[in-house]
């Protein structure tokens, strides 16, 4: 038995080009509108958080390095409210980060974003958590540092390139905080 090969004729012409182009233009305009609304919402959140003072920078001579870590900065939120992202002064920008812990405090260097420094007296706690500001990881996959800035308590989330470092960092920060509070 030989197979029968049916040759189809010419396919149907697309006859409604203006309608198709109109739908594509409409879809592109809708996507642009949604993007613009998201951007305006981000800027509005920054305006509402205008009372947050400028971030401190690292002083000269912070002392010997206790710990250093390379990883990612995932954002900052109001302490205890893991979805209330803080965007003022670039704190909402995710980026690579280099963390350095010294006797003076915690220095956060972020290429392409604002660097900041958390003085030792402003540190309030460190813990391992699973999420912050829309980033959810496995249990203990995120180092969250709580610190005071102005009249606010802020949680900042970091993830090391080597997650085994998180416990060492949390212990060192909490020990430093206990020592600082005892000296007050």
Measured CA distances, 12 to 9, 20, 63 (Å): 9, 15, 76
Residue-wise pLDDT for 2-56, tens only, equals: 665 655 567 666 678 888 899 999 999 999 999 999 999 878 877 777 788 888 8
pLDDT at 56: 85
pLDDT at 98 > cutoff 90: yes
Three-state secondary structure call for residue 84: coil
Residue 157 near residue 73 (C-beta atoms within 8 A): yes
- Enclosing H/E stretch for 174: helix 165-183
The tokens describing 173, both together, are: 């920060």
Average pLDDT over residues 61-79: 89
pLDDT at 139: 82
Distance of CA 182 to the CA centre of its chain: 32
Residue-wise pLDDT for 155-167, tens only, equals: 999 999 988 899 9
Q: What is the pTM for the complete model shown?
A: 0.74
Average pLDDT over residues 69-77: 92
Is the Cα dihedral 30, 36, 42, 46 positive or negative?
negative
Long-range contacts of 129-137 (CB under 8 A, 24+ apart): 129/82, 129/157, 131/82, 132/74, 132/75, 132/77, 132/82, 132/157, 133/74, 133/75, 133/76, 133/77, 133/82, 133/83, 133/84, 133/85, 133/92, 133/157, 134/75, 134/83, 134/85, 135/74, 135/75, 135/94
Residue-wise pLDDT for 120-154, tens only, equals: 999 999 999 888 877 777 787 899 999 999 888 99
Task: Report the greatest alpha carbon distance in the chain.
Answer: 96
| CA dist., res. 15 & res. 86, Å (int) | 52
Residue, of 74 and 138, whose pLDDT is higher: 74
Neighbours of 79 (CB within 10 A): 18
Pairing of strands 152-160, 142-149: antiparallel
């Amino acid at each position: 038995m030989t197979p029968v090969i049916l040759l189809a004729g010419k396919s149907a012409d697309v006859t409604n080009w203006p309608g198709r182009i109109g739908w594509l233009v409409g879809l592109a305009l809708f996507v642009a509108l949604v993007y613009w609304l998201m951007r305006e919402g981000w800027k509005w959140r920054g305006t509402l958080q205008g009372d947050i003072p400028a971030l401190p920078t690292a002083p000269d001579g912070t002392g010997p390095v206790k710990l250093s870590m390379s990883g990612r900065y995932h954002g900052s939120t109001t302490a205890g409210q893991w979805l209330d992202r803080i965007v003022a002064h670039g704190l909402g920008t995710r980026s690579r980060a280099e963390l350095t812990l010294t006797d003076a405090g915690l220095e956060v260097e972020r290429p392409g974003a604002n660097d900041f420094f958390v003085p030792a007296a402003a540190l309030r706690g460190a813990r391992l958590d699973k999420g912050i500001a829309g980033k959810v990881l496995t249990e203990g996959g995120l180092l969250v540092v709580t610190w005071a800035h102005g009249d606010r308590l802020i949680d900042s989330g970091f993830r090391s390139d080597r997650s085994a470092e998180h416990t060492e960092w949390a212990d060192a920060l909490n020990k430093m905080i206990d020592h600082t509070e005892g000296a007050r």
